[in-house]
Amino acid sequence: MLKPSTAGNRSELFFSEAQDVFPGGVNAPEHGFALVGGTPRFMDQGDGAYLIDVDGNRYIDYVLASGTLILGHASHRVLGPSIEAMTRGTCYGAPTRVESELAWAVTEMLPSMELLRFVTSGTEAVMSAVRLARAFTSRPRLVVFEGHYHGYADTVLARSGGSVDARGTRGGIPPDHGIVLPAEYAISVLPYNDREAAQRLFEQYPDEIAAIIIEPVTAHMGVIPPADDFLPLLRELTTAYGALLIFDEVMTGFRVHPGGAQTLYDVRPDLTTLGNVLGGGFPIGAYGGRRDVMALAAPLGLVAQGGTMSGHPIVMTAGLATLRHLREPGVWRHIEHTAAALADGLLDVARAAKTAVFQTHIGTMLSLFFTQTPISDWRSAQHADTDKFAQFFHVMLQNGVYVPPSPFASWFVSTEHGMPEIEMTLRAAYRAFRSL
Ligand code: PMP
């Protein structure tokens, strides 16, 4: 394996200081370089499509905070209204109109979300949606898919077969066989895109399944779209057996289509979770869906969910500015075209450099696997050569391109990425492929 690219002096210093105060020197594993080796770059500034680190190095950013920054870094469209709102007060602990304005934008874009709630992270949104589904159906069992990620609440981190958390982190989570354990841990893990396995599970537990939760396009083992008819089958099974279908669109919302995967594939879930793009760069989550299900949330119903910072006015303002701009004619299509140019270009340069890759690409997201074997689920994703990815990552970084520091994360594009950035990226990629 190549030596990881060297970080500048200040990143090295700041990382060594951070390791004294944070486990692993970071506040989230995905901020570090654990999967690619080396020192994470400490960032000082974002500027459109670029990140600038504390040593003054400039990178074209394809991470965009897990895809959050769909309008790029420090967008004036987001900053202007957010700063104006902040001068009137940072938060009130009381309702504000902007909460409803953002909710209207969401329900227009994702009409299945008849009633919704804003929370402060995707993890909270998922936790709340699952609790609601169990309350609505009076059933315990939750169905999840291998390799899908739904945040880090106990309810969705399961074991058996593979881990549902691609990183395999499940310490502190009770085993899931649901026999001696309290019902809240009853969970079944299915292979993604396996129709027969889903059918069999419903036959095995016809009266026990509260809900299926799925990333309708998974983004945590690289981007992997659903097999044809997989989502419609899940819709049919859940309806037939009286279970709920939850689409976790924290990642795919506004990214695979302005109306999310549910609009792209025309499958209406009972509940949806959102996050990332929705907050315009500030912490957010949302869950919502069928009016009769959502009516169980307190104070209308008995399902607990609250939050000091829920519906935070600055976050709502930033989110509203983001969605408003995304809905302007041509804006989303432009990002999609840029992503397509990047995806096609990467395949071309890989071919020119005689490097075998498998690529997936949908909407404004893409990923690149170092394998020729088609990837459709967690097991096939294991064929990807993670050492090669790490080498590729470091050569890209040295050439001013910041791709996700994980072979199983998605790349994202923003409104601020244009042809100059794509061309620079492809030149760097050619060098990186040739170095392998
Ligand atoms: N679900 C999905 C599909 C996610 O991608 C993520 C992380 N972005 C989460 C849930 C958890 O969201 P958060 O990190 O905001 O808690």
The ligand 1 atom at the shortest distance from the C-alpha of residue 66 is 8
**Residue 30 CB-density burial (10 A; 0-12 exposed, 13-18 middle, 19+ buried):** middle
Contact status, residue 114 vs residue 120, Cβ threshold 8 Å: no
* pLDDT for 257: 98
The ligand 1 atom at the shortest distance from the C-alpha of residue 121 is 15
The ligand 1 atom at the shortest distance from the C-alpha of residue 148 is 3
Residue of minimum CA distance from atom 1 in ligand 1: 150
* pLDDT for 157: 79
Give which of 410, 357, 434 is closest to 250, Cα–Cα: 410
CA of residue 382 to ligand 1 center, whole Å: 22
- Return d(Cα 151, Cα 20) in angstroms, integer: 26
* pLDDT for 125: 98
**Tokens matching residue 37:** 């080796």
Contact status, residue 282 vs residue 315, Cβ threshold 8 Å: yes
CA of residue 69 to ligand 1 center, whole Å: 14
- Return d(Cα 182, Cα 36) in angstroms, integer: 38
Give which of 327, 245, 322 is closest to 290, Cα–Cα: 245
CA of residue 150 to ligand 1 center, whole Å: 6
CA of residue 162 to ligand 1 center, whole Å: 19
Residue of minimum CA distance from atom 13 in ligand 1: 122
- The pLDDT profile of the chain, 436 residues, written as one tens digit per residue, is 567 888 889 999 999 999 999 999 999 999 999 999 999 999 999 999 999 999 999 999 999 999 999 999 999 999 999 999 999 999 999 999 999 999 999 999 999 999 999 999 999 999 999 999 999 999 999 999 999 999 999 888 764 433 334 445 556 665 554 444 555 568 899 999 999 999 999 999 999 999 999 999 999 999 999 999 999 999 999 999 999 999 999 999 999 999 999 999 999 999 999 999 999 999 999 999 999 999 999 999 999 999 999 999 999 999 999 999 999 999 999 999 999 999 999 999 999 999 999 999 999 999 999 999 999 999 999 999 999 999 999 999 999 999 999 999 999 999 999 999 999 999 999 999 999 9
* pLDDT for 161: 37
The ligand 1 atom at the shortest distance from the C-alpha of residue 283 is 15
The ligand 1 atom at the shortest distance from the C-alpha of residue 28 is 14
Give which of 251, 243, 295 is closest to 269, Cα–Cα: 243
Write down the pTM of the prediction.
0.95
In one-letter notation, the amino acid at residue 147 is G
The ligand 1 atom at the shortest distance from the C-alpha of residue 220 is 5
CA of residue 3 to ligand 1 center, whole Å: 31
* pLDDT for 162: 38
- Return d(Cα 132, Cα 210) in angstroms, integer: 10
Give how far Cα 256 sits from Cα of 217, 283, 412, Å: 8, 21, 11
Pocket test for ligand 1, best of 218, 276, 282, 287 (most atoms within 8 A of CB): 276
CA of residue 35 to ligand 1 center, whole Å: 19
Pocket test for ligand 1, best of 30, 124, 130, 149 (most atoms within 8 A of CB): 149
CA of residue 410 to ligand 1 center, whole Å: 13
CA of residue 427 to ligand 1 center, whole Å: 32
Residue of minimum CA distance from atom 12 in ligand 1: 122
In one-letter notation, the amino acid at residue 60 is I
Residue of minimum CA distance from atom 9 in ligand 1: 151
**List of domains in the chain:** 9-74+330-435 (3.90.1150.10), 76-326 (3.40.640.10)
Residue of minimum CA distance from atom 14 in ligand 1: 122
Q: Is 426 helix (H, G, I), strand (E, B) or coil?
A: helix
Contact status, residue 62 vs residue 412, Cβ threshold 8 Å: yes
CA of residue 263 to ligand 1 center, whole Å: 20
* pLDDT for 164: 39
CA of residue 249 to ligand 1 center, whole Å: 9
CA of residue 166 to ligand 1 center, whole Å: 13
Pocket test for ligand 1, best of 250, 262, 271, 410 (most atoms within 8 A of CB): 250
Ligand 1 pocket, Cβ-based, cut-off 6 angstroms: 66, 121-123, 126, 149-151, 215, 219, 248, 250-251, 275-276, 285
CA of residue 403 to ligand 1 center, whole Å: 19
The ligand 1 atom at the shortest distance from the C-alpha of residue 67 is 8
* pLDDT for 154: 84
